[in-house]
Structure 1
Amino acid sequence: MPNDRDTEAAPDDALLTAFSGYITQHLGLHFPRGQWAELVRAALALDSAGAGACMRRLMAAPPTRGQIEQLAGQLTVGETYFFREPAVFDALEHEVLPALIAARRAAGRTLRVWSAGCCTGEELYSVAILLQRLMPDLADWRISLLGTDVNPVFLRKAEQGRYRDWSFRAVPAWLRQRHFGPPQDGLRAIAPALRRGVRFDYLNLAADLFPGPEAGAPTMDLILCRNVLMYFEPASAARALQRLGRALAPDGWLAVGMAEAGHALLTPFEPVRFPAALLYRQRPDAPPPGAAPAAASVSCAVPAAVPMLAASAEPAPALALRARLSADRGLLDDASLCCAAAIATDKCDPALRYLRALILEEQGRSGEAIGALKDALYLDPDFVLAHFTLGSLCRRNGAAREAQRHFANALELLRGHAPDDVLAHSGGVRAGELADLMRAGAGAT
């Protein structure tokens, strides 16, 4: 006999519009029409009575913290790893942190870092590793390393500090061995020394008091809020950025995701360009920390219906990141559209052609994927991953001789890499691992 869930009508556009607005109001997250399926999936997971019943029940009253946590558990993405976006950490290690350490050494030896939207903790522990390397007198300092997130599952994992190899895909073997214990049940534990000063806490960036003057506490020297606000509705992102600025020390620094850097919403901060990264600091004319916002509303700067990264002048890296995130969620049509827009913005980037090939292959369009890989190799004949992937597709399609040629090209190019080198655009694959894979495979030499 059918149950209520089987017979309930699918949520209509009016209900989904209202529920999307409810999520934006209470979590800051932006779910345009093309992502409403994510809202339906989340509601189905939370209520056996059906998606529509769940949405109406939640919207009947202001959400409790427990309901916010449940929604966050369904709607937030937990993709991160140690030293993600290495160019940012290179700027932190060689420029930003040394300057902050020198300034704070002369003023009480206190340093405060906040990872806002810390996910499972890899980002904050990466900063802890840098501080241990940069500060031989670390034991003499008062260090506060705060990680906050709205997802309680992420926070529990961060507090446990135990990680699978996938979290180390962008770091060399020596770093794993020096700062983590031996693997147990497939997990490596963070070294106890790196836990000093580290604390993880629940915080909803769309609603709760921020650490710093808002909460009657000192300002932060470094705030990392990376690949978080790109999911926010623009007005929510603008409010969060304004509050981040009030939490930041006058000489403090803000790090956002590389795909978020350069966005118009960041104009309240002063951009500082490093060789391969863009970070932000307080402008000299910024109001004092904790000061009330200006009378004009920043939410007027961007139309509320447009997501943070959806402006017509959206840069190719931002479009490419959206394409990858959509592909990870299984939204291949959205991924394909974003990738096509990225290529239209930057026609000479071989990595975008490679990304297009991966999406096409996921869509079952292997012939077009082969064409996209050939385009990538036309733009960059030394693109190792493109040779390897093209070889794999050719072998699958019965073109053994062409497959062999591309595998041989890839192996020859890999000879110019150290085995521990992480290959560009590989998601963390090391040169030695790829070479071993090809040598072990049929048709490779």
Structure 2
Amino acid sequence: MNDPCGEISRESISMIKEALERYLGICCDRTVLRGGLRALRKAAEKSGYSSPEEFLFWLLMEAPEKERVRRLAEFFTVGETYFFRGVRVFLALRDGLIPDILARKRSLGLDQNVRIWSAGCSTGEEPYTLAILLEEAGPRESGWSYSIVATDINGGFIARAKKARYGQWSFRKPLPEKYKKYFTALEGGEFEVIPDIKKRVSFSVLNLVEEGYPSPATGTSRLDVIICRNVIMYMLPEYRRKVVERFRQCLVEGGFLILTPAEVHSVETEGWKYSVIPGGALLQKTSRRPTTAVRASSVSASEKDPVIEISARSGTGLPRGSSQILKQRSKDDDAAAAEISKAGELAGRRKVESQSGTVPDIREVAGKIQGMANDGQYEEALELIDRHAEALKFRPEFYYLKGALFREMGRTEEALASYRRALYLDPHWVPALIALGTLLKAQGNRVAGNNFLREALALLKQKPEGEISLFDGNFDVPDLIGMIEAVLESEKRENGRKGN
């Protein structure tokens, strides 16, 4: 298939990028741009335009602004997600934050309804996952309730979320048995979320860079929790700051904003208390007093506590009693979390065992592939790893190795796709974060590349000892931290010189 970028003039591509920055606040890499241009080309053909350029002229010059934004969002936003992705964040929310929210509400004589906003919800898997986990806690039996508002700029994603019908790709890690009751099997291999869960989530279209919130009309005022992961990291800095400030206005005093570790680095600390939870970064709304964050690696906390406070001003990450609630979490929930995180690996293992009786050792496979790559035998290395695809396709290492081979072969787009797939399976896997970050930077996409490197850095600092295996060899974690910090600091100085 022809490269869609080759069908559009450089001037038109520049206009698209300017429009994306103006109306969506984002800068997209070449992979996203290509996907968007393919969608644009199909829309041009369907609408009867003689060429993509003619359709693009209408879209950017003549279409009403509302239609322009709608189309740009549907063409150029990516919606990769799946059920129970990043489940540790939701368990920390349910078992740590919500009990504190309810306790605070009781002390103030307020209703026992927890109001949550999933901002940038894509096709709905994230808010439905949260609703399922909250239902497991038995809120009605315990005298409390919850409401979830879920929004995305892409109207097509929202339409799919409202239907609540999902194929196998939304269940990349097989569901633990206890959660299957929340889905109805349909013909064609699809599954539908049951009505009791669907009615717990209210979906609508909302553009985070516009001024439609906070507002009671959109359900975005007086919120207790906002979850916005892997969204603002793609925004331009000026929009990122505005969006986070608007989030703050949407929250009640003491409310929580959940981001990824990479995203929190770009947030002003004034008015927030910063903590770390498994798989995420937690900002709690406070009065307008600056707080000073310390290195996550300098904090000692029990592995059983999902919340680790790293604010120098406050004493504990959450109000008193949270850690006790967390430690008393049922063994069933711990087992379910472990089952979710390992289900994909076990599924692949069982299938291979039934066929050959053995499971390939990923480290042994990686060693062979690295040796072949060193000898320039790239095609042979690809054939070798593909022979193990059935057993390893749920392992991030599988796609990381393929990405490294593609990069060595100069097949950059395939390398990017492989690294992204590794992160779909494990969003916090450091080798893939580093590989994707460095490759994006090499392509000239410094904003997105640096964000991935910052997320890797934040994760490494949580466990600043040991060793990390990359395709180029093994690195001590302190050395890797130093290397990433040096890269980021060097670019910071370079940008400073350009600004003078």
Normalised by the shorter chain, which TM-score bucket? Answer: 0.5 to 0.7
Question: What's 1:296 paired with?
Answer: none
In the TM superposition, 1:13-32 aligns within 5 A as 13-31=10-28
**Deviations, residues 113-139 of structure 1 (Å, cap 9, x unaligned):** 111111111111112122212344269
Larger % of helix: which?
2
**Deviations, residues 326-350 of structure 1 (Å, cap 9, x unaligned):** xxxxxxxxxxxxxxxxxxxxxxxx9
Once the 2 structures are TM-superposed, how far is the Cα of residue 195 of structure 1 from its aligned partner? 2.7
Distance change >3 Å, CA 138–CA 151, structure 1 → 2: farther
**Deviations, residues 380-410 of structure 1 (Å, cap 9, x unaligned):** xxxx959989999xxxxxxxxxxxxxxxxxx
Cα distance between partner residues in 1 of 2:94 and 2:31: 40
Question: What runs of 5+ residues in structure 1 fail to find an aligned partner?
Answer: 1-8, 288-349, 374-383, 393-423, 429-445
The reply on whether 1:46 has 2:43 as its aligned counterpart is yes
Give the root-mean-square deviation of aligned CA atoms: 4.1
Question: What's 1:97 paired with?
Answer: 98
Distance change >3 Å, CA 256–CA 369, structure 1 → 2: farther
Question: What's 1:185 paired with?
Answer: 188
Once the 2 structures are TM-superposed, how far is the Cα of residue 221 of structure 1 from its aligned partner? 0.7
Give the partner amino acid of 1:238.
R
How many residues align structurally? 310
Question: What's 2:415 paired with?
Answer: none
Give the partner amino acid of 1:18.
M
Question: What's 2:82 paired with?
Answer: 81
Question: What's 2:121 paired with?
Answer: 118
In the TM superposition, 1:159-308 aligns within 5 A as 159-170=162-173, 172-212=175-215, 218-258=221-261, 260-265=262-267, 267-268=269-270, 269-285=272-288
Question: What's 1:147 paired with?
Answer: 150
Once the 2 structures are TM-superposed, how far is the Cα of residue 56 of structure 1 from its aligned partner? 2.6
Give the partner amino acid of 1:81.
Y
> Do the aligned partners of 1:80 and 1:119 also contact (CA within 8 Å) in 2?
yes
> Do the aligned partners of 1:213 and 1:246 also contact (CA within 8 Å) in 2?
no
Q: What percentage of aligned pairs have identical amino acids? A: 28
> Do the aligned partners of 2:168 and 2:190 also contact (CA within 8 Å) in 1?
yes
> Do the aligned partners of 1:81 and 1:168 also contact (CA within 8 Å) in 2?
yes
Question: What's 2:71 paired with?
Answer: 70
Give the partner amino acid of 1:116.
A
Question: What's 1:322 paired with?
Answer: none
Distance change >3 Å, CA 246–CA 61, structure 1 → 2: farther
Cα distance between partner residues in 2 of 1:386 and 1:278: 23
Cα distance between partner residues in 2 of 1:33 and 1:165: 27
SS of corresponding position for 1:185: helix
Cα distance between partner residues in 1 of 2:204 and 2:93: 24
Question: What runs of 5+ residues in structure 2 fail to find an aligned partner?
Answer: 1-5, 291-362, 387-393, 403-421, 427-500
Distance change >3 Å, CA 371–CA 178, structure 1 → 2: closer
Question: What's 1:108 paired with?
Answer: 111
> Do the aligned partners of 2:220 and 2:250 also contact (CA within 8 Å) in 1?
no
Give the partner amino acid of 1:365.
Y
Give the partner amino acid of 1:263.
H
Distance change >3 Å, CA 24–CA 194, structure 1 → 2: same
> Do the aligned partners of 2:82 and 2:126 also contact (CA within 8 Å) in 1?
yes
Cα distance between partner residues in 2 of 1:247 and 1:390: 39
> Do the aligned partners of 1:72 and 1:151 also contact (CA within 8 Å) in 2?
yes
Distance change >3 Å, CA 168–CA 11, structure 1 → 2: closer
Once the 2 structures are TM-superposed, how far is the Cα of residue 208 of structure 1 from its aligned partner? 4.3
Distance change >3 Å, CA 215–CA 236, structure 1 → 2: same
Distance change >3 Å, CA 273–CA 33, structure 1 → 2: closer
Cα distance between partner residues in 2 of 1:29 and 1:64: 17
TM-score, normalization: structure 2? 0.53
**Deviations, residues 357-400 of structure 1 (Å, cap 9, x unaligned):** 8xx9xxx9345669999xxxxxxxxxx959989999xxxxxxxx
> Do the aligned partners of 2:32 and 2:78 also contact (CA within 8 Å) in 1?
no
SS of corresponding position for 1:82: coil
SS of corresponding position for 2:252: strand
